[in-house]
Amino acid sequence: MELKYEPNRIERKWQEYWDKNNFYKTSEDPSKPKYYALEMFPYPSGNLHMGHVRNYAIGDVIARYKAMNGFNVLHPMGWDSFGLPAENAAIKHGIHPAKWTFSNIDAMKQQLKTLGISYDWDREIATCRPDYYKFTQWMFLKLYDNGLAYKKSAAVNWCPSCQTVLANEQVVEGACERCETKVDKKKLEQWFFKITDYAQRLLDDLEQLEGWPDKVKIMQRNWIGRSEGCQFSMAIEGSDEMLTVFTTRPDTVYGVTYMVLAPEHPLVSVIAKGTPQEEAVKAFINEVKFISDVDRSSADLEKTGVFTGAYAINPMNGEKVPIWIANYVLMDYGTGAIMAVPAHDQRDFEFARKYNLPIRQVIKSNDPTDENNQLETAYAGDGYMINSGDFDGLSVEEGKQKIIAYMEANNIGSATVNFRLRDWLISRQRYWGAPIPMVYCPECGPVPVPYEDLPVLLPEDVNFKITGESPLNYVESFYKTNCPVCGSEARRETDTMDTFVCSSWYFNRYCSPDLKDMPFDPDQVNYWMPVDQYIGGVEHAILHLMYARFFTKFLYDIKMINSLEPFSNLLTQGMVLKDGSKMSKSKGNVVSPEEIIKHYGADTARLFILFASPPERDLEWSDQGVEGCYRFLNRIWRLVQDYAPLFAEDSESLNTASLNPRDKDLYYKVHATIKKVSEDIQERFNFNTAISAIMELSNHLNSYREVQDKNPALIKLAIDNLLILLSPFSPHICEELWQQTGHQSSIYLQPWPRYNPDALILDEVEMVIQISGKVKERIKVPINSAKEELEQIALDNPKIMALTDGREIVKIVVVPNKLINIVIK
């Protein structure tokens, strides 16, 4: 008999037990339904924070619950271990990124293990290990072979102080996240993945993702940004060049009074050449160059521009309109050029006002009171066409179609779909990433590294000084190579891949973690994939989740896997807050999981974090709340210690037919709790209410202590179930108490209990009597009493009689076993 609950001792004991007996090791088993539970793998920063604990605690409840319900569960863990922080550590402290990373992984793995999560550690992966990044490179080659990886010159984020390129995600509000210097754009040759080829499918298949939060689907939909319209070309006066524009409002094409090009548009210098405006145009382009990209794309920026001196011909009416350049037109959307319709576009309207350009109304509102003669703002609403030649009188919708049809018939333009989504820039001028497996041969040009030569290994001896180029550029043994095709001296690509590439396919690798020649075995992947439940922070709503979807579709297309989507169900967990804001070092409000575990144990930490709030919502950290969960576990401990002797020797089985009312009440509570906890986990992931139901059962058991003639078999039933129900949340204490109450095998191997519907049928229920919707009285009646009987009981009730005396009863509403509502006048 143990007197005191000592979490650290029993947690170590059971973690060792699970470890030694390969408890959570999984393999394919066609006889059982599979369940793939996955939490987003962490970057190994070196210490676990509360957000991780929350993420993995949620995942563990689901994984354990499913396993106990007969599923063959895959629940792996690994490390997203390439990336900038390791290299920064190298620059700052002179530690090699590999050494830094691997020691962080060791440290974090130790911390993770103290949480008692049911991981199959045999499947652990680290994206920075050659046996993993070999296949990240394999993915690159497959994409390249299929025309989905290409190189082009592009403007990238450049920090002038650090002298290096930054990933988009390392740019925070237009500044470098490390030194807070304003980020510039710099043109460099870069590798891209053609995710835009998949834009429509990425958009369409969102419909299939019923298990995803709408919020995330909406964010992806907006990010993809599909818009329908048409693209058409205009002749430029005195030039052979054509000017192509994209518009979603072809119905307003008769309202075009000028054209606008982005200042970077290649046609600008051509058309301005030799005009009196040439100097002004050059000056304006120079001016725009000095405005940062962030300010450039801000709606607050004042719209400015300059006339190019050239004119375009509107193909619909032959009208000559001036071509301007302006800061509000962006080169990287559409064609980098627009037709300006100031009467029906607010931006064009403001610009036209400022530069005294004509405004011509071509859409009239259907609302006759809406006299829009003196336009104060652009009119973007519905209506019918005017001033539009043969098209007058058509509605906006009809007009769009008819104009496009006309353009197509006359070879002016055609219907087009435009996406906001851009191709994915994957080059990084950094060391600590997967090298891009390409070779540049003076004879053969760019040549992919043959599959059999993978991996292209990262060299170890590298100087990390900041130069603005990849450190690999200075490692001769790395870049000097021979062409795989012709054998002549060639140079390796020295850029490495964005770490999002590594995390776009890792969930497949867990299915075949040790496979040598292929990223995964199709049979194994097709057994496990798709992930049944994916859990992580909402900050990955777009980037990671979109890239992973893209990779999955690509792998489907090349017949490597059978699923079109990687994650059937997605749970986006809320943040862990302290004093109302996100835990961060700079705010000094960080609570370390290590400290909490040391003090209270992992069971308490897990329980608190699951109890304090439903998983999707933000969670406010409370030291006192933790204390409360610790007290609860102590109460459970004592409860079992006190009751154990009672049923230790008594193996009599429970006779449910002869329960006294007090026992029946406890018996009811046991089954009601099984039902509630099962439903809360299974249907809604509402762990907080599941835990509170378990607390209620424990409270019932506690008050049962006062009962004189206790029923040992009933207590045993209650305690067994209590421990099983609590075990996914706080597994160690439950294993320990399970063993102490005489069970031979692990509680994890217990089947999840089923509630007995008969146990939930009570003899008597409490009902409420309302008068006109207000509760006036409570009565106890036999369950399922007849409506007429209930009405009579209510009307005969003295309190109700007094209140209804002399009033007319309009009607009586009876909700079975709940309430009787007497409506009076």
Partner RNA sequence: GCGGGCGUGGCGGAAUGGCAGACGCACCAGACUUAGGAUCUGGCGGGAAACCGUGGAGGUUCAAGUCCUCUCGCCCGCACCA
Residues of span 208-227 touching RNA by CB under 7 A: 214-215, 218-219, 222-223, 225, 227
595 lies in the site for RNA, by CB under 7 A: no
- Does 722 engage in binding with RNA (CB under 7 A)? no
Which residue stretch of 37-45, 112-120, 544-552, 681-689 sits at the interface with RNA (rule: CB under 7 A)?
681-689
Q: How far is the CB of 12 from RNA (least distance, A)?
A: 23
Among 152, 631, 787, 799, binds RNA (CB under 7 A): 631
CA distance 600 to 602: 7
For residues 419-478, which are near RNA according to CB under 7 A? 420
Residues 508-567 that bind RNA (CB under 7 A): 538, 542
For RNA, the binding residue among 153, 624, 658, 744 (CB under 7 A) is: 624
For residue 436, what is the DSSP state? P
Query: Which 317-336 positions form the footprint of RNA (CB under 7 A)?
Result: 327-331, 333-336
Least Å from the CB of residue 87 to RNA: 25
Shortest Cβ 240–RNA spacing (Å): 24
Q: Cα–Cα distance between 617 and 631 in angstroms, integer? A: 25
Q: Judged by CB under 7 A, does residue 635 bind RNA?
A: yes
Judged by CB under 7 A, the stretch of 315-323, 504-512, 550-558, 809-817 that binds RNA is: 809-817
Stretch that binds RNA, among 155-163, 393-401, 473-481, 696-704 (CB under 7 A): 696-704
The residue (of 312 and 525) whose beta carbon lies closer to RNA is: 312
- Residue 182 carries which DSSP code? B
Q: Does 655 help bind RNA (rule: CB under 7 A)?
A: no
Q: How far apart are CA 491 and CA 428, in angstroms?
A: 17
Alpha-helical runs (H) found in 114-228: 130-145, 199-204, 214-224
| Binding segment toward RNA, per CB under 7 A, in 50-58, 241-249, 306-314, 512-520 | 241-249
CA distance 345 to 533: 44
C-alpha triplet 234, 280, 303: angle, nearest 5°:
70
Count of residues binding RNA (CB under 7 A)? 81
Interface with RNA in residues 77-136 (CB under 7 A): none
**Is residue 174 at the binding interface for RNA, with CB under 7 A as the rule?**
no
Stretch that binds RNA, among 49-57, 98-106, 562-570, 817-825 (CB under 7 A): 817-825
CB of 770 vs RNA, minimal distance in Å: 6
Position among 48, 243, 695, 737 found at the interface with RNA (CB under 7 A): 695
177 binds RNA (CB under 7 A): no
Of 181 and 622, which CB lies nearer to RNA in the complex structure?
622
Q: Which helix (H) or strand (E) holds 755?
A: none
Shortest Cβ 248–RNA spacing (Å): 4
Amino acid identity, position 679: E
Give the residue with the Cβ less far from RNA, 398 or 616.
616
Instruction: Pick between residue 275 and residue 804 the one whose CB is nearest to RNA.
Output: 804
Q: Element (H or E) spanning 51, and its range?
A: helix 50-68
Residue 296 contacts RNA per CB under 7 A:
yes
- Tell me if 348 sits within 8 A of 355, measured CB to CB: no
Cβ distance to RNA smaller for residue 381 or 742: 381
Nearer to RNA, 111 or 604 (CB): 604
- The answer to whether 584 and 578 are in contact (CB under 8 A) is no
CA 683 to chain centre: 20
Count CB-CB contacts under 10 A for residue 241.
16
Which helix (H) or strand (E) is 167 found in, with range?
none
CA distances from 198 to 194, 246, 388, 719 (A): 8, 21, 38, 54
Q: Which is nearer to RNA, 275 or 416 (CB)?
A: 416
Q: Which of 405, 428, 418, 399 is nearest to 493 (CA)?
A: 428
- What Rg value do the Cα atoms of the chain yield, rounded? 34
CA atoms within 13 A on the CB side of 219: 14
CB-CB contact of 364 with 382 (8 Å): no
Q: Which of 94, 147, 290, 299 binds RNA (CB under 7 A)?
A: 299
Q: Measured from the CB atom, is 554 or 637 closer to RNA?
A: 637
Among 69, 88, 170, 297, binds RNA (CB under 7 A): 297
When asked if residue 823 is in the footprint of RNA (CB under 7 A), the reply is yes
Report the residue number, 353 or 631, with the smaller CB distance to RNA. Answer: 631
Q: Output the smallest distance, CB 654 to RNA, in A.
A: 24
DSSP 217-276: HHHHHHHH--EEEEEEEEEETTSS-EEEEEES-GGGGGG--EEEE-TT-THHHHHHTTST
- The nearest distance, CB 214 to RNA, in angstroms, is 6
Closest C-alpha to 514, from 76, 121, 132, 128:
132
C-beta closer to RNA: residue 109 or 420:
420
Residues in the chain: 825
CA distance 695 to 680: 14
Strand-pairing partners, residue 652, are none
Q: Is 347 in the site for RNA (CB under 7 A)?
A: yes
Cα distance between residue 455 and residue 469, in whole Å? 22
Q: Indicate whether 620 belongs to the interface with RNA (CB under 7 A).
A: yes
Rule CB under 7 A: is residue 414 a binding residue for RNA? no
Give the x-and-dash track for 380-409 against RNA (CB under 7 A). Answer: ------------------------------
Across 431-453, b (16+ Cβ under 10 Å) vs e yields bbbbbbbbbebeeeeebbbeeee
What are the φ/ψ torsions at residue 764 (nearest 5 degrees)?
A: -130, 145
C-alpha torsion sign, points 494, 500, 504, 506: positive
699 binds RNA (CB under 7 A): yes
Binder of RNA out of 190, 247, 512, 711 (CB under 7 A): 247
Query: In the bound complex, what is the minimum distance in angstroms from residue 461's beta carbon to RNA?
Result: 39
Stretch touching RNA by CB under 7 A, among 129-137, 292-300, 477-485, 489-497: 292-300
Whole-angstrom CA distances from 491 to 26, 144, 466, 485, 816 are: 44, 18, 22, 13, 82
> What is d(CA 593, CA 339) in angstroms, rounded to the nearest whole number?
58
Question: Which CB sits closer to RNA, 479 or 550?
Answer: 550
**Region 3-32 residues binding RNA, contact defined as CB under 7 A:** none
Q: Is 244 in the site for RNA (CB under 7 A)?
A: no
- SS3 assignment, position 534: strand
Closest to RNA by CB, 436 vs 694, is 694
- Provide the minimum distance between the beta carbon of 588 and RNA in the complex, in angstroms, as a whole number: 18
Residues 752-781 that bind RNA (CB under 7 A): 766, 768, 770, 772-775, 778
Q: What are φ and ψ of residue 448, in 5° steps?
A: -70, 145
Interface map 46-75 toward RNA (x if CB under 7 A): ------------------------------
**Residue 229 or 753 with smaller CB distance to RNA:** 229
Contact between 666 and RNA (CB under 7 A)? no
The β-bridge partners of 774 are: 771
Residue 257 in contact with RNA, rule: CB under 7 A: no
The secondary structure element, H or E, covering residue 583 is: none
Residue 249 interacts with RNA (CB under 7 A)?
yes
609/723 with CB nearer RNA: 609
Instruction: Work out whether 604 is an interface residue with RNA (CB under 7 A).
Output: no
Beta strands in 367-499 (DSSP E): 384-385, 413-418, 424-425, 427-428, 438-441, 445-448, 480-482, 489-492, 496-497
